[in-house]
Amino acid sequence: MNTSSLSRNLGCLCSLAVLFLAMPARAGDVVMVLNARNPTQELAINELKAIYLGQTSFWHGVVPMKVFTRPAKSAATTSFLEEQLQISVQKLERTWTAKQLAGQGIAPTELAEASEVVAGVAANPGAIGFLTAEEAWGLEPNGVKYVQLD
C-alpha cells in the first residue's frame, strides 16, 4: 500500500468514525458508498432518487455514474429504497425494465455482499452503492468513502 492510498484509507476510516460517533446507529441506518475520488460531500434524498431511477447519469456533468443495488430482500434494500427513498422494489424494477427496453440505460448491477459493494465502488470512479451501518462498520473502506444521507 503506497503513502497516498494509506492516507486516503485513513481519511475514509476517520470519516466513518466521525459519521458513526456523530449519529447513533439505528436498525434502519444506511450509508452511501462513493469512490474516494468523488468530491461529493452530501447527497439529498431527491438526488438519490434521481440517480436510482436513472434520471441523471453523470456526476457533475462529467463522470458517468455506475449504480449498484442490493438483493430485493436484503436489510440494506429495505432500509435504503423503501424507508429512505420510499420506492418499492417493484417500482424500481419496472422503471429500469422500461428504460432498458427503450435503450435509455442499463439497470443497476445487483451485488449481494457488502464487500462486493465496496470493491465495486472502489474500482469505478463514478460508482455509487449503499450499505447498512452495520455492514459498513465491519468493512475497511479501501478506495471508497462513506456519505451520510442528508
Partner 1 sequence: MFLWTSTMLALAADGASGWGDLGELGTEAAPTPVHESRLYGYIDSYWEMVAPVPEAVEDGQTVHGDSSREFDIPNFNVMLQGSVHGRYRYFINLAAPGAGSATSDEGVGVRNAWVEVPLRGDALAVRAGKLYRRFGLYNEVLDAVPTFIGIEPPELFDKDHLMLTRTTNLMLFGSLPLSPSTRLHYAATTGNDESNGRSVPLGADAHVATHGFKAGTSFYWTGGYASPSRAVGEGSPRGGVANWMAEDEYVVYGGYAEGTPGSFTLQAEFWRADHDAVRDPDAVALLDDGTLNPRQAERFFDAGDPGRGPAPPEVRYAVQTAYVRAGYAVDIGQRASVTPYAQGDWYSNPETVANKDLGGDAEAGLADDGVFLKYTAGVVIRPVPQVALKVDGSAHQFLYNDAVEVFPEVRLSLSYLWQLEQ
Residues in contact with partner 1 by CB under 8 A are 37-39, 44, 46-47, 50, 55-64, 66, 72-73, 88-91, 93-94, 97-98, 100-107, 109, 122-126, 143
Smallest separation, CB 137 to partner 1 (Å): 24
Closer to partner 1 at the Cβ: 38 or 84?
A: 38
Rounded Cα distance between 2 and 73, Å, is 39
Smallest separation, CB 98 to partner 1 (Å): 4
Closer to partner 1 at the Cβ: 13 or 87?
A: 87
Rounded Cα distance between 5 and 68, Å, is 23
Closer to partner 1 at the Cβ: 26 or 73?
A: 73
Closer to partner 1 at the Cβ: 61 or 138?
A: 61
Residue 28, SS3?
Answer: coil
3 state SS for 86-107:
CCCHHHHHHHHHHHHHCCCCCC
Residue 129, SS3?
Answer: strand
Contact 34, 126 (CB under 8 A): no
**C-alpha cell, 138:** 465491519
Smallest separation, CB 35 to partner 1 (Å): 9
Smallest separation, CB 24 to partner 1 (Å): 27
